[in-house]
Amino acid sequence: MEELKQNYRHFWEDRDLLYSSVVGVLFLIASLIINYAAGMFATLNASNSVTDIILDNVPRMNVEYVFVQGILLFLAFVAYLLIKDPRRIPFALKSIAFFVIVRSIFVSLTHFAPFPDNNFDVYGSFIKNFTFGGDLFFSGHTGLPFLMALLFWQNKRLRFFFICASIFFGTAVLLGHLHYSIDVFAAFFITDSVYRLGSGLFSKDKALFAQTMQ
């Protein structure tokens, strides 16, 4: 508890850290607005569905609790890790925002309709504020946990947890026929590139984040 108090005392006194955190929050808000516009555009302009070697051979399952409540619990855990040490906030928020913007660009370029037996309408209205059924490529449920694995790579336990979470959510969206196979498998490669680019763009924030891993 004393260490936490000291971290936040330093956070409020360090103007550069505070400013960078505010920029991260604003960047994240902007990315969510862009994501909303991209998702709506892709859904309204979706063309036809396509066949998929995995989805064609796997019966659809109801993965509502994983897709909705599961990702909310995951985000709560990430928030806890950032609140625990505010030095992590700038790089984490900017990386997530950059990830969301890159995904929004891909979503805007790719307009496949959901898989034919997709049952997205059964999922809660809250999650539909962020995903709309036609914003498929690439899978955010798969990519975001993998991005966290890359951020916390130096911590073996967190790295293992986040990689497992990425595989778990990726498997779930396939079993629910909520994403095509390419949406899930491509997420790992694109997320890795997002992380590498973000590390260069936000190098000062990354260096501060790395201090928390020592």
pLDDT (tens digit per residue) in 156-185: 999 999 999 999 999 999 999 999 999 999
* pTM > 0.75: yes
Extents of the domains making up the chain: 2-211
Answer for the pair 192, 90: CB distance below 8 angstroms, yes or no. Answer: no
Tokens of 188: 């790992």
pLDDT at 131: 65
Average pLDDT over residues 90-110: 96
Q: Kindly report which listed range (22-31, 106-115, 146-155, 173-182) carries the lowest average pLDDT score.
A: 106-115
Handedness of CA 39, 120, 56, 53 (dihedral sign): positive
Q: Kindly report which listed range (1-5, 69-73, 140-144) carries the lowest average pLDDT score.
A: 1-5
Quick one: angle between helices 89-109 and 140-151, nearest 10? 150
Torsion of CA 76, 79, 85, 91, to 10 degrees: 150
CA atoms within 13 A on the CB side of 67: 28
Q: What angle do CA 209, 210, 211 make, to 5 degrees?
A: 90
Average pLDDT over residues 117-134: 61
Count the neighbouring beta carbons within 10 Å of the beta carbon of residue 12: 10
Q: Is 181 helix (H, G, I), strand (E, B) or coil?
A: helix
